[in-house]
């Protein structure tokens, strides 16, 4: 095995270091030193090489199994992610009303434009000294933003439940079902 590795550019350095360790040499010795050590006692070198080859084969076999296991885990993870994506795509394709399925996203994008515009307007009011006008509008703005973000929050939450129901086929219970299941657990 080490003999084959010596001919491979990426493995030649590692194989050479293994052979030097097997001969009891420092890692930075020259090829001439390695050659003279081998020529001095060919039988001891042959025995050291055989042991090093056996050790390297066991190590590389173990590493190959680890890499195969990691590849299997990655393959399983990718398969599960792809199945989830396909299930979500089926849910979206089965949606009878495309507007209903997308209006939450449109509203979220619209809020990403609206919020900086309101922030700029507030900064302008402060900059120009119209703080009293800003305070007068605070009640209306509080209600406006409360409704906007409340609607978005509820529909993001229910959208998640809709997708989970479509994927699992089981309806997601609301507050009433949570209370009912808690009461029945207490009764039992």
pLDDT tens per residue across span 146-168? 988 888 888 777 777 777 777 77
- Secondary structure (H, E, C), 88-145: HHHHHHHCCCHHHHHHHHHHHHHHHHHHHHHHHHHHHHHHCCCHHHHHHHHHHHHHHH
Which single residue is written with the structure tokens 């529909």? 155
Structure tokens at 23: 């001969």
Q: What percent of the chain has pLDDT over 70?
A: 83
pLDDT of 80-105, one tens digit each? 988 888 887 777 666 655 656 677 77
What is the pLDDT confidence band of residue 123, given thresholds at 50, 70 and 90?
A: very high
- Inter-CA distances, 178 with 85, 159, 174, Å: 29, 19, 6
What is the per-residue pLDDT for 1?
43
| Cβ neighbour number for residue 103 with a 10 Å cutoff | 13
Stretch 104-122: mean pLDDT, rounded? 86
Predicted structure pTM score: 0.35
């Amino acid at each position: 095995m080490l003999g084959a590795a010596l001919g491979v550019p990426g493995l030649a350095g590692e194989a050479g270091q293994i052979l030097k360790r097997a001969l009891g040499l420092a890692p930075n010795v020259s090829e001439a030193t390695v050659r003279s050590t081998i020529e001095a006692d060919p039988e001891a070198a042959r025995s050291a090489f055989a042991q090093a080859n056996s050790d390297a084969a066991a190590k590389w076999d173990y590493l190959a199994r680890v890499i195969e296991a990691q590849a299997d885990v990655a393959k399983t993870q990718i398969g599960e992610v792809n199945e989830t994506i396909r299930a979500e795509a089926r849910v979206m394709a089965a949606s009878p009303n495309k507007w209903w399925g997308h209006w939450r996203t449109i509203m979220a994008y619209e809020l990403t434009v609206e919020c900086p515009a309101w922030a700029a307007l507030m900064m302008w009011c402060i900059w120009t000294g119209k703080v009293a006008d800003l305070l007068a509008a605070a009640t209306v703005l509080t209600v406006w933003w409360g409704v906007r973000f409340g609607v978005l929050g509820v529909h993001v939450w229910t959208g998640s439940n809709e997708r989970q129901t479509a994927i699992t086929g089981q309806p997601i219970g609301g507050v009433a079902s949570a209370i009912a299941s808690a009461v029945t657990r207490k009764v039992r």
